[in-house]
Structure 1
Amino acid sequence: MNLELGKILFTAAIADAVSNSKDFSAFVCQSIEKHKTCNWGDCDPEDSHQNDLSFESGGRILSVYKNPAAHEDSEPKIWIITEWDRSITTVLYPSDY
């Protein structure tokens, strides 16, 4: 079961963090792969269930991944959102929303 991702976009903050840290870049790549394979990460059970329904019906999908290497001065998690039509997937911090 694979999710169509369309074009993958990063917010400016994510792009900056990816370009400045190989570890963060690897975390983002791993998270995108999990999202693609319908592993919704650290979503609460209700959101995970909604993602399963959205996968089948063509709705918007939101995954949450906690960065195990996050420092006190960095955001502890990222969101990955795939639009309902599967044309765009965006990687962002919750504060970018």
Structure 2
Amino acid sequence: MKFNPGQLVVTRGVNDLISDNEEFAKHVFLSLKRHLAGDWGDLCDEDRVTNELALQQGERLFSVYKKEGVPTIWVITEWDRSVTTVLFPEEY
């Protein structure tokens, strides 16, 4: 892990789909592993650089993960590393 994620939480929508869809549950698990390793997923180069600076300066971290056949998810770690949230873009 590149940083402490704090408390790991998922929104109600993500939780409901995890319960109903094993493929989506795997996508969430693997995406969290990637986020914690500093693999920011499907971000543009500029946003990747922003995340790398945020790691050093204690700012919010943001990742996007897309996979064919399941909904896109966002993973956000707060600036103080107290909480990491998995959510759908429309839940932001």
- Same fold per TM (> 0.5)? yes
Q: Distance in 1 between matches of 2:2 and 2:19?
A: 27
Deviation at 1:67, TM superposition (A): 2.1
2:50 & 2:8 partners in 1: Cα distance?
A: 22
Task: Choose between structure 1 and 2: higher strand proportion.
Answer: 2
| Unaligned residue ranges in structure 2 (runs of 5+) | none
Aligned residue pairs: how many?
92
Q: C-alpha distance in 2, partners of 1:66/1:18?
A: 15
Corresponding residue SS for 2:50:
helix
Query: Aligned pair 1:45/2:45, yes or no?
Result: yes
Equivalent pair of 1:67/1:78 in contact (CA under 8 Å): no
Question: Percent same amino acid among aligned pairs?
Answer: 40
1:8-32: CA deviations, max 9, x gaps? 1111110001011111001100000
- Helix, strand or coil: the match of 2:55? helix
Structure 1 unaligned spans of 5+: none
1:88 corresponding residue in structure 2: 83
Output the CA distance in 2 between the equivalents of 1:3 and 1:19: 28
Task: Tell me the TM-score normalized by structure 2.
Answer: 0.95
> RMSD between aligned alpha carbons?
1.0
- Alpha-carbon deviation of 1:81? 0.1
TM-score (norm: length of structure 1): 0.90
